Every structure is written in C-alpha cells, then in structure tokens.
Structure 1
Amino acid sequence: MSLIKVIGNKAMAALAVIFTLFSSTAVFAQEAAAIAKPVDMEPVYRSTIFYVLLFLLACLFIAIVGKALKVYELTRETQGKSEGINWDLINAVLFVIFLIVGLYGVYFEYTVHGKMILPEAASEHGKKIDQMFEITLILTTIVFIATHIVMFVFTYIYRYNKARKAYYYPHNNMIERIWTIVPALVLTVLVLMGFLTWRSIFHKVEDPNNKPLSVEVTSSQFQWDIRYPGKDGIVGKKNYKLVTSTNNLGIDFNDRDSQDDLVADEIVLPVNKAVRFTLTSKDVIHSFYMPQFRVQLNTVPGMPTQFEFTPTITTDEMKAKTGDPNFHYVLLCSKICGTNHFNMQKVVRIVSEKEYEEWLTNQKPYLTDDLRKAFNLPVTAPAKPADSTATASVKPSAENQLALKK
C-alpha cells in the first residue's frame, strides 16, 4: 500500500470518527427535542466520567493529527522534497507562547488568588511572619520571572539553524562566582531573618509585672477542651491516670491550683494582652491552628507544648474591617486526625478587658461535687432557702420540742 493511500486511510478514519460523533449528537438532540420536558444535562457535566471521556477524546484527536503529520513528513522525504515543516521554528515559537502564557498566569495568581493567601494578621508576631513571607515571595518571584525569561528567550534566539555553528564556551569563572555567591548571600539573609523571627516568638523574656494569661487546651477526637485558671491565675496539674467518666481531663485536684479552675465552651481572650496556651492531647497528634493569629503548633500525647502570642484586633473590629457581620475567629485542627477532623472547631472571641472579666465570672468551675467526693474534698454547702431567717426566728412549741427530742 502506497503512502498516499495510507494518508487517505488516516484521513478517512478521522472523518469517520468526526462523522460518528456528529451523527450521535444529532440523534440525541432529536430525541431530546421530541420530549416535551427539556433534559437536564447538568449532572452529566459534573460527573468524573464525562471529563475522563472528554480527555480521552482530546488525546485521540491529537494522536490522529500527529500521525497524519508524521505520514506527511515521510511522504515528502520519500519524494526527495525539502522538509515541509520547520519544527525547530515551531518549537521555538511555542516556547515563547508558553513564556507569555506563564507570565500572565503569574500576574493572574498575584492579582486574583494573591488576596486569598492569608487573612489579615491579628497578632503582634503575625505581622512579623507576614513581613518575612512577603520579602521571600518578592525575591523568589523576581528570580522566577528573570530566569524563565532568559531560558525561553535563549531557546528562541538560539534555535537550530543549519547556517550557524554553535560557539564552544565551556567555562567562565566570573559567572560561576556570581551565581554561587549571590544566591548564598540572599539565602543567608532569609534564613537569619526566619531564625530571628522564630526566636522572637518562642523565646520570650517574661515580664514579672505583666505575666501572660494562661489557658490550657486539650485535644481529642474530635473536640477541644478549654480550661481557664481561677483567681490564682494558675492552671493546675493533671495526670492521664486520673481520667474517669466524671474527670474527663484527668485533673489532679490534690493540687490546690486545680481546685478553682474553670471550664469554657469557647475561647475568649482580652485584646492586647499576652496569652500563653498550654497544649496537650488525649489520643493522637492534632494541630492547634488559628490562621488569623498565625498560630499553629502540634498537640502531642504525653508532651505538653506551649505557644504565646498577643491578639491585637477584636472580633468586632475585624467584622468592621472585613465587612462581614458573621465573621468570627476560629480554632481548627490542621492534622488529618480522623473521619470527623473537618468538624473539629472552636469559636475564638477577642474582646476588651472589661468584657473578658465579665465573661470569666460567668464560667463554671471544673470541680463538681462528684469530683469533690472522689478526691475526699469538702462538698459545697447547699444554698439556704429564701425564708430561712423568718423560719429561724419562730420558736418551736413545747410539743414540737418534745417531738424533736424523740
């Protein structure tokens, strides 16, 4: 069979595929038109199979075109004709097109998705992290754009040309020094900046006159348990061996610091006041994550960890800034810790000092009467009835006194 017949067969095959697709589409369109109620194709477009078949169809089309072009090249070669398609020029042009599309993609990501990277920082150290992130992103973006422009333009300018011979240029000490020393200096600055920022977050000098508020958070599948200190300002000890149905966190109430601790359903913090979270876990590794405060630290079973930060924007202020009346800070778990990981959340409210004190007075103590009995502590005396004074002022009669003696 000659190459011309092969070309004809390939073309006929392609035409047959296209004709089959169009005829099938026409038949489906006629059937849909015959039905009074229009067919809802939305579920089809959303299905995975639809896009898989669409991808395979595109691959088939590209393969047919590629085979046809290959046959065209072989035909010209057997006929002794010059090369019909300058693939070197096509590849070079494609590189330039890819460069332009890629640079537009960078612009699109910065202008559209760039606003979605991080919300506004609502803590003191969060501003430092954002500054470090922005400097790193700017430097890497400049290097990314410059290197890609050089590479793709170089590929276009120095594409293959039979009339041109490549210049042999194996080595240049100056260029070697530049692209070794400059990146080393830039990376050293970035690493030092990150190290100093990390130390400023995790190695704080404690001021005895302004001690941070202590809050304990215990993670478990799939919830957060919050414990606040009482009037002593100290969160008491706990021991996993003391965990029972009534003592869910295993609090050691033989420690006096534990006896006035409070339990809360949400995290409420005063603005511009340092807070130190002590993090523990009852079962698996979770991750204590509050994105607006740039706080993320693992909670590890058997190993308490701590994170200290200062919130700077109240919840009401952030609602006004975002224009979202339903906005609220949230505590999340950023570890895939199980099936209900997505639902492991806790509301965080940043309020004024006065609001915080009012909220704290309404929180319930962790130590209940059942726990007092379990730890042999005195049970809380029951409240006296309202008319106890009037009852006590009335003296019992002689018969009642005799009955009481009996």
Structure 2
Amino acid sequence: MSLRRLIVNKTMAALAVIFTVFSSANAFAQEAAAAATAKPVDMGPIHKTAAFYVLLFLLLCLFIAIVGKALKVYELTRETQGKSEGINWNTVNAVLFALFLIVGLYGVYWEYTVHGSMILPEAASEHGVRIDEMFNLTLIITTIVFILTHIVLFVFAYIYRSSDKRKAYYYPHNNTIEKIWTIVPALVLTLLVLKGFLTWRSIFYKAEDANNRPINIEVTSSQFLWDIRYPGPDAIVGKRNYKLTTAINGLGIDFNDKNSLDDLIADEIVLPVGKPVRFTLASKDVIHSFYMPHFRVQLNTVPGMVSYFEFTPTVTTEEMRTKTNDPKFNYILLCAKICGTNHFNMQKNVRIVSDAEYKEWLAAQTPYLTNDLRKAFNLPIPVEATPAATEEAQAADTTATAAAVKLDVKNQIALKK
C-alpha cells in the first residue's frame, strides 16, 4: 500500500468517525429537546378507549379465520386420505341453533327484568294512561309472537337437521295454514290500529267544554332555546307575525292586536294540576320537537306552521318526587330532534303545582311588552308614581278630608240653629 493511499484511508476513517460522533450528538440533542417540549403522555387505562375494542374485535375475527382455515385443512387432509368426514357440520349447526335459542330467550328475559323499568316513566297526564295501555298491549302481543315463532324456528332447525338416514318430505302448500297465518295477524293488527286511531283522535280532537276551557300557552322554538308566552288577564295569547321580528321583539309579537298587550314571558313552564292546557307550537329556524316524556307529549315545531297539543297533567311535581323517592325530581321539556350542535342543552324546567300556587306564580311574571317596545310601536307609556308625587297626593287627600270634616261640622251647627 502506498503512502498516499494510506493517508487517504486514514483520512476517510477519521472523517467517518467524526461524522458518526456528530450525528449521534445531534440525534441526542434533538431527542432531549423533543422530550423537553413534548406534552405529557396520557397513561390512562387503554380499555377505556374505542381503539382498544376495535383492535380486540379485529383480533377476534382473525382468530376465527385462523381456526376456520385450520379446520378446512383438516377436512381436506382426511379427504385426500380417503377417510370419512371428520366433523358433522349439520350437527354442529343444529347445536349452535339450539344454543342461540337458549341465549336469545335469556336475553329477552334479561331485557324485561333489567331494562324494563327504563322503557317509559310513569304517565302524569290523562291521555298518557291510554297511550301506556296501548303500548303495553302491543308489547305483550309482539313479545308472545316473537318467542313462539323463534322457538318453532330453532327447534325445527335442530330436530330436522340434514341426515343421511332420512329423506325430506316434500310439502309445498296447505290452504288451511295459509288462511290461519293470514287472517289471525290481520285481525290482531286491525284491532291495534283501531285502538291507536281512536286514542289519537281522543287526544287531538277534544270536545270543547265551556266550563273547563284550556289554558293557552305559546311555545316558540329556536336554536337552542324555548320561548314561553303566557296570556294575561284576558286569557288569550296575542298574534305573532314573523315580519315584525326585531332585536327587541324577538318573537315578532303584533301589538296592534289588543290581546298581545297583557301577555307574559316566562323562564319555565308552570301548570296547574287537573286543568287542561293547550300549547301553541311554532319554530323560528329549523324543525324542533316539543317533547315532555312524563306527559306523553311529543309534537314537531315547524317553521312557517303552527301546531297544537292539548293535555291535562294529573300528578304534581311534589307528588312525583314522593313516588320516585327523588327529592330533586323535575319534569322537563326537551327537544327530540337533532337540531344542531347544542341540541342536548335545549331544555326547560316544567312544574306541576296546585291551582293556588299557579295563580300566585302567574301574578309574579314579567309582561312581554316593555317600555322600549311601547316606543317602537307608538304605544302610550304608563306614568310611574314617584315618592314625591305620592306624598303630594297623600297631603292633598288629607287636606281634602279635613275640609270635608269642617264643612260637615258647619252644616250640623246650621241645622241646629
């Protein structure tokens, strides 16, 4: 090896060593800087994440696929060796059907016993009782049919599984069976539909009772709140006109209608027990759903259209707290439509109270018509009595009373003369 080549080789080796050291130092520096600026790693339990269960499901599918492939190889091996079938898949499938039937029936029992109380809360309205009767009747009939048909289906699949020892009987048609499973369901469904139709008519087509007129309340929905308007002493809610909607008249109330002048605005819904209530429902933007589950009340509020729902509450809030053994229980108004990102928070408190409590609460509510609205609609603004004016009026009344007493004394003296 020449001196020149030796020098070149040593130079290259030295450069390689320097480059390696520099790269290592640079890597260590970057790692240290990243560690210093990195956010703390979430070390929470991995089983609380959705990714864990997705991976677990995929792993289970992979395991089943591997077992299936292994069994397929086993069957092909026996076939190439001229041996009989190793696994009777007809029997395996029949046993799986029987197990599925047992597990399924237990699932029905479990749902009824565990989740049965979560179906609907106790009805707190007159029509709610009829709706529950209809619902329970439908549920009982469909559950019986569901259980019987599945028992027949899976038992037949188990007993009459394919076998080389017998041949299937060809049975293409039977008029009697066709009539039975056509006429019986038709009669049952007709009765259920008629019951539902009559219940629906009893809710939406009530006869007017002059001695027990409903309380009219207007509820207007918007993203994401409910505006509640009660009638004043005239018991009539005034008209609305969307063209009159402004920053200070958010509901577009028409104050040319005299019935609007005494209307009240409320932050909650308070109803007297045992009194019919008629809700007038409207929407300012999108479709919402006026939903009070305890009263079996649900109706869409649609922009440009007015809808109505009338019902009679039968259980006060205090009575329901006693029944549920929950001192914090409250009825609630919800929106049953997914109307936007804050849909879940579109709620209003509902209280059912005695008639006396309702009247007391109603007297404390704020009128919708403010002084700003009076100015906007050129309505007269009532003059508020100041303390000075009140004292002057009281002094004038005292002077007038004293003068009347003096005059009366003079008249009596004159009569005696």
Q: TM-score, normalised by structure 1?
A: 0.86
- Residue by residue over 1:57-95, the C-alpha shift from the partner in whole angstroms, topping out at 9 and shown as x without a partner, is 111211111111111111111111111111111100000
* Residue aligning to 1:100: 102
Query: What is the number of equivalent residue pairs in this alignment?
Result: 357
1:58/1:251 Cα in 2 relative to 1: closer, same or farther (>3 Å)? Answer: same
Q: Amino acid of the residue matched to residue 283 of structure 1?
A: D
How far, CA to CA, are the matches of 2:209 and 2:281 in structure 1? 22
Question: Matches of residues 323-334 of structure 1 in structure 2 within 5 Å?
Answer: 323-334=325-336
Question: Matches of residues 42-81 of structure 1 in structure 2 within 5 Å?
Answer: 42-81=44-83
Q: Amino acid of the residue matched to residue 179 of structure 2?
A: R
User: Which secondary structure state, in structure 2, belongs to the residue aligned with residue 112 of structure 1?
Assistant: helix
- Residue by residue over 1:193-243, the C-alpha shift from the partner in whole angstroms, topping out at 9 and shown as x without a partner, is 000000000000011121100000011111100000011100011101111
User: Which secondary structure state, in structure 2, belongs to the residue aligned with residue 137 of structure 1?
Assistant: helix
- Residue by residue over 1:230-266, the C-alpha shift from the partner in whole angstroms, topping out at 9 and shown as x without a partner, is 1110001110111111111111111111101111110
* Residue aligning to 2:391: 387
How far, CA to CA, are the matches of 2:166 and 2:70 in structure 1? 31
How far, CA to CA, are the matches of 1:247 and 1:41 in structure 2? 53
How far, CA to CA, are the matches of 1:394 and 1:63 in structure 2? 103
Question: Matches of residues 220-259 of structure 1 in structure 2 within 5 Å?
Answer: 220-259=222-261
- Tell me how far 1:393 sits from its aligned partner: 8.4
- Tell me how far 1:387 sits from its aligned partner: 2.8
* Residue aligning to 1:317: 319
How far, CA to CA, are the matches of 2:167 and 2:42 in structure 1? 62
* Residue aligning to 2:299: 297
- Tell me how far 1:42 sits from its aligned partner: 4.6
Q: Amino acid of the residue matched to residue 387 of structure 1?
A: E
User: Which secondary structure state, in structure 1, belongs to the residue aligned with residue 208 of structure 2?
Assistant: coil
Q: Amino acid of the residue matched to residue 229 of structure 1?
A: P
How far, CA to CA, are the matches of 1:40 and 1:216 in structure 2? 50
* Residue aligning to 1:215: 217
Say which of 358, 361, 373 aligns to 2:360. 358
- Tell me how far 1:377 sits from its aligned partner: 1.4
Whether 1:163 aligns to 2:165 is yes
1:390/1:317 Cα in 2 relative to 1: closer, same or farther (>3 Å)? Answer: closer
1:393/1:147 Cα in 2 relative to 1: closer, same or farther (>3 Å)? Answer: closer
* Residue aligning to 1:134: 136
Deviates more, 1:200-209 or 1:378-387: 378-387
User: Which secondary structure state, in structure 1, belongs to the residue aligned with residue 218 of structure 2?
Assistant: strand
* Residue aligning to 1:24: none
How far, CA to CA, are the matches of 1:171 and 1:390 in structure 2? 101
- Residue by residue over 1:150-202, the C-alpha shift from the partner in whole angstroms, topping out at 9 and shown as x without a partner, is 00000011001101011111111100100000000000000000000000000
- Tell me how far 1:384 sits from its aligned partner: 2.7
Report the aligned-residue RMSD. 1.6
How far, CA to CA, are the matches of 1:206 and 1:339 in structure 2? 41
How far, CA to CA, are the matches of 1:103 and 1:271 in structure 2? 43
How far, CA to CA, are the matches of 2:65 and 2:333 in structure 1? 51
How far, CA to CA, are the matches of 1:243 and 1:42 in structure 2? 51
- Tell me how far 1:388 sits from its aligned partner: 3.1
How far, CA to CA, are the matches of 1:56 and 1:207 in structure 2? 64
* Residue aligning to 2:37: none
* Residue aligning to 1:271: 273
How far, CA to CA, are the matches of 1:228 and 1:293 in structure 2? 20
- Tell me how far 1:49 sits from its aligned partner: 1.6
1:335/1:168 Cα in 2 relative to 1: closer, same or farther (>3 Å)? Answer: same
User: Which secondary structure state, in structure 1, belongs to the residue aligned with residue 45 of structure 2?
Assistant: helix
How far, CA to CA, are the matches of 1:351 and 1:52 in structure 2? 50
Q: TM-score, normalised by structure 2?
A: 0.83
- Tell me how far 1:394 sits from its aligned partner: 11
Say which of 347, 350, 354 aligns to 1:348. 350
Percent identity between the aligned chains? 75
User: Which secondary structure state, in structure 2, belongs to the residue aligned with residue 71 of structure 1?
Assistant: helix
How far, CA to CA, are the matches of 2:88 and 2:208 in structure 1? 72
Moved over 6 A (4+): none
Where structure 2 has 5 or more consecutive residues not aligned to the other structure, the ranges are 1-40, 400-417
How far, CA to CA, are the matches of 2:143 and 2:51 in structure 1? 38
How far, CA to CA, are the matches of 2:81 and 2:392 in structure 1? 119
* Residue aligning to 1:179: 181
How far, CA to CA, are the matches of 1:224 and 1:90 in structure 2? 59
- Tell me how far 1:392 sits from its aligned partner: 5.8
